[in-house]
Structures are given as C-alpha cells and as structure tokens.
Amino acid sequence: MQRVAETCRRLLSERGEANSVAIAADLLDDLLELQADQRLAFFELLEHQFGPDPGQVLQAAQRYAESPNAEHLIQLTAAAEPPRQELLRRLNRAPGGTAGIVSLRRALLGVLKSRPDLAAVEADFQHLLSSWFNAGFLQMEQVDWRSPAALLERIIEHEAVHAIDGWTDLRRRLQPDRRCFAFFHPQLPGEPLIFVEVALLPHMPEAIGPLIDPASASLAPRSFKVATFYSISNCQPGLKGVSLGNFLIKQVAEHLQREFPQLRTFCTLSPIPGLCTWLRGCGDWDARDDLRPRLRERLGRAHALLRSHFGDTLASLPGSFAPEAAPPELREALELLAAHYLGQESVTVRADPVARFHLGNGARLERINWAADVSRKGLKQSLGLMVNYLYDLGEVEERHERFVRGEVVSARRITQKL
C-alpha cells in the first residue's frame, strides 16, 4: 500500500505529467492485483489523502461569496474538487484504464454498506463514470446470430429477467421476429454495458411464456405492429447508477420505427418484482388516511381475501399457486391490489424498481396481465402477474414530469378499477 500511495502521489504530481500514461499503467497493474483488504486500504487512502482541504475550500468560498468573479470562481472550483477525481482521470489514461476503474468501483460498491464513510469516494467514481459513459459516447449495436460467440456468451450470462437456458434458447431470441440491442463504449470493446430484448408482435402480449418459447415459429415482418421490450439487463455492476437503460430503450424504439414504419406501439412486458414483498408488508388499511375511503375499504377487503386464501401472514406466498385455476374473486382482488401498488405506492413507497424505472422514463402504466408468468420465479415475485408499460415517445417528457411530481399516468382500464 505504501508503494501504491507513492505512485498515486507521483501520478498526480507535476512530475507525473510528463509520463503519466506509463505511471498510470503501472498503478493500474498494482491496483488490479490488490486483495480485498488492500483494496479497502486503497479506498481509505483516497478518502483520507485525496479529498479537498476544508480550510482552503472555506477560504475560496468566502472570497467567492464576497466577490463572485471569474478568478474566484475558478479558484473555488479547483479547491472544492476532490483531487482523487484528477487522480482517476489520470489513471484512465492507462491502456485498459476505463475497465479498471469500472472494476474498482464494483469492489467499492460491495463494501459501501459497511463503510458509509467511503460514500464521497464512491460519489467521485460515479461522477466521472457518468461523464465518460455519457449517452453521446455510447454506441448501440444489434446483437444477432452473426455476433461473436464471446459476446453472445455475455448475453446468456447477464440476462437477469428471464434466464437464457443455453445457446438453443438464445437462438430463438435472435430470430427475425426478435431483436436484441446493446450499448457499447469505445473503451470497453466487445463488452456489452446493457442490453434489451425485443419481440415484434401483432398485439400487445399478455404472457411471457410464448415470447421465450424456443420452439415457437418466427413471425413474418408484415404482421409486426407492436414492439415489446420484454427484458432489459445490465452487464456491468461497476456502472450501477449510471443512466443507460432510459437511453437504450428510446434509441431502440427510434431505430425500430425507422426499420418498420408500420409499428404502432412500443411497450414492455415487465415483471412486478416487489409485489409479494409489498403484500406481505402492507398492514393496516384502516389507518391509511391518504386514501379515499371507498378505495381504502376495497383494498382492505381484497387484502383480507388474500389472507383467507394464502394464510394469515402471507408469510410465504406459495410458488405452487396456479393462477389459471384461481377463483374469479381472487383474481379481482389481486389485480386491484396490483393496480394500487403500481399506480400509487410505487411513487410514494418506492417499492418496485421496475415500475419506477419505466414510469420514471415517462412510460404509462398500461395493462396488468393475469397468469402472465407462471414460472416459479414469476409466482414467487408476483403470483404470476405481469404488466405492460407503454412508451409513447411524444409523451414521455410530460409523463416523466408528472411522475416526478408524484403522479403515475395510467391507462383508463387501470384507473377505472381504482
């Protein structure tokens, strides 16, 4: 660590400027070989020795407050920026520097929970990576059966929503009525950052099974009316919090609209990963003064029906539940609770990450689908329910703003249930 600390100082010094690529390469080699405890020591080093000097910042801030001119502002900005940012920028000059920084951040994120004092170091990593993985620098590419095997292997590995069961399964998802697009960065050649899988369909889909059935036949292009994003997966844990998915979905939608002018609808078929957890956790409906009395009562009753069906505590909502055979009143109760969960709680409680992602992108809550994912995972997460979010590119900006203000835009068929 002694040596790493010295190399850091050397790289950041005036002296290092003349040969920074070589020094950065040495430093990177050392950093990538650190064991977990040493890596932690390195993050502590960044925290303790490469932060801004409080006294200097205060002085600069005072001068700027007294006389807010260009000179004082330049001094202030220089004094307030943590020196580790420049250190990381110089480290980035090394061959493979960007990949190295992404992997360091991955490690840092792993320890952050137990070491909240490193949050400012983490913030600097995120700040720089957000700047470098700016949408303008990302390259969207289609992934298909002509793509390198090494890339397809990454896709199989990183699919996070509906697992890909080997090459045959993948192959179906790359047929002519399916699309897969990924973002790449020039500094990480061959490494997908995030990818989205799309089904081209005649109708907005109600269930995931047929979409990912390896034995299903490929449709002809003339029947494509709806583009459905049915899976979106990040491949780089070290880029967590760097906005990628929003840009990818919109760029893919524009690309597909150009390729198939007949497409009328862009939507998702999405899981509701937080539904069952929320159901178990949400308690006393009578106390919910924020709800209209009529709705409060209906939700309470629905919840009670659920309890009578699955046991009082809903402790373990059974994965063996068969939605197709469920009594109609149970379906009605569950759909009501899901509509409320997605349409309102997602804003306030922030429980469902998928809902927050799409609604935050400006999508509309379009339709809740019964018995849509009867896989074990689907039943455990959401008792088989899935949801379509609708992307209307002309409306996303306004809808995003309404969402930020606390309002979820939902289709009529959903609002009238509530």
Instruction: Candidates 112-120, 205-213, 263-271, 333-341: pick the segment binding a copy of itself (CB under 8 A).
Output: 112-120
Shortest Å distance, C-beta 361 to a copy of itself: 6
Instruction: Candidates 183-191, 215-223, 276-284, 322-330: pick the segment binding a copy of itself (CB under 8 A).
Output: 183-191
What is the spatial distance between Cα 249 and Cα 202, in angstroms, rounded to a whole number? 20
Determine, following the binding rule CB under 8 A, whether residue 119 of this chain makes contact with a copy of itself. Answer: yes
Contact string 264-303 vs a copy of itself (x = CB under 8 A): ----------------------------------------
What is the spatial distance between Cα 381 and Cα 319, in angstroms, rounded to a whole number? 9
Binding to a copy of itself (CB under 8 A) within 34-63 occurs at 47, 51-52, 54-55, 57-58, 60-62
Of 340, 346, 358, 382, the active-site residue reads 358
| Position among 29, 38, 49, 117 found at the interface with a copy of itself (CB under 8 A) | 117
What is the spatial distance between Cα 106 and Cα 102, in angstroms, rounded to a whole number? 6
Binding to a copy of itself (CB under 8 A) within 388-407 occurs at 396-397, 399-401, 404
Instruction: Candidates 17-25, 33-41, 227-235, 336-344: pick the segment binding a copy of itself (CB under 8 A).
Output: 17-25
Three-class secondary structure of residue 242 per DSSP: coil
Distance of CA 293 to the CA centre of its chain: 35
Cβ burial, residue 94 (10 Å; 0-12/13-18/19+): buried
The full DSSP string for 278-339 is HHHH---GGG-TTS-HHHHHHHHHHHHHHHHHH-TT-TT--TT--GGGS-HHHHHHHHHHHH
Binding to a copy of itself (CB under 8 A) within 203-262 occurs at 243, 246-247, 250-251
Shortest Å distance, C-beta 314 to a copy of itself: 35
Token readout for 159 is: 């699919």
Shortest Å distance, C-beta 54 to a copy of itself: 4
Q: With CB under 8 A as the rule, give the number of residues binding a copy of itself.
A: 85
Do the strands 265-268 and 194-201 form a parallel or antiparallel pair, or are they unpaired? unpaired
Helix (H), strand (E) at residue 234: strand 226-234
For residue 140, the cross-strand partners are: 183
Instruction: Candidates 136-144, 208-216, 328-336, 409-417: pick the segment binding a copy of itself (CB under 8 A).
Output: 136-144
Determine, following the binding rule CB under 8 A, whether residue 136 of this chain makes contact with a copy of itself. Answer: yes
What is the spatial distance between Cα 198 and Cα 253, in angstroms, rounded to a whole number? 10
Instruction: Candidates 73-81, 222-230, 292-300, 322-330: pick the segment binding a copy of itself (CB under 8 A).
Output: 73-81
Q: Specify the residue, 245 or 343, whose C-beta has the smaller distance to a copy of itself.
A: 245
Token readout for 102 is: 């992404």
Q: Which amino acid is at 65?
A: A
Q: Specify the residue, 148 or 281, whose C-beta has the smaller distance to a copy of itself.
A: 148
Contact string 351-370 vs a copy of itself (x = CB under 8 A): ---------xxx--------
What is the Cβ-side half-sphere exposure of residue 209, based on CA atoms within 13 angstroms?
A: 12
What is the spatial distance between Cα 248 and Cα 358, in angstroms, rounded to a whole number? 12
Token readout for 374 is: 């009867």
Residue 177 phi/psi, 5-degree rounding, is: -100, 15
Q: Specify the residue, 119 or 304, whose C-beta has the smaller distance to a copy of itself.
A: 119
Furthest-apart CA pair in the chain: how many Å?
Answer: 76
The full DSSP string for 109-124 is HHHHTT-GGGHHHHHH
Determine, following the binding rule CB under 8 A, whether residue 97 of this chain makes contact with a copy of itself. Answer: yes
Determine, following the binding rule CB under 8 A, whether residue 31 of this chain makes contact with a copy of itself. Answer: no
| Position among 12, 23, 267, 371 found at the interface with a copy of itself (CB under 8 A) | 23
Of 231, 270, 346, 410, the active-site residue reads 270
Q: Specify the residue, 79 or 235, whose C-beta has the smaller distance to a copy of itself.
A: 79
Contact string 137-176 vs a copy of itself (x = CB under 8 A): x-x-----xxxxxx-xx------------xx---------
Determine, following the binding rule CB under 8 A, whether residue 32 of this chain makes contact with a copy of itself. Answer: no
Is residue 349 within 8 Å of residue 336, measured between CB atoms? Answer: no
Q: Is 358 a catalytic residue?
A: yes
Is residue 337 within 8 Å of residue 302, measured between CB atoms? Answer: yes
The residues that are catalytic are 270, 358
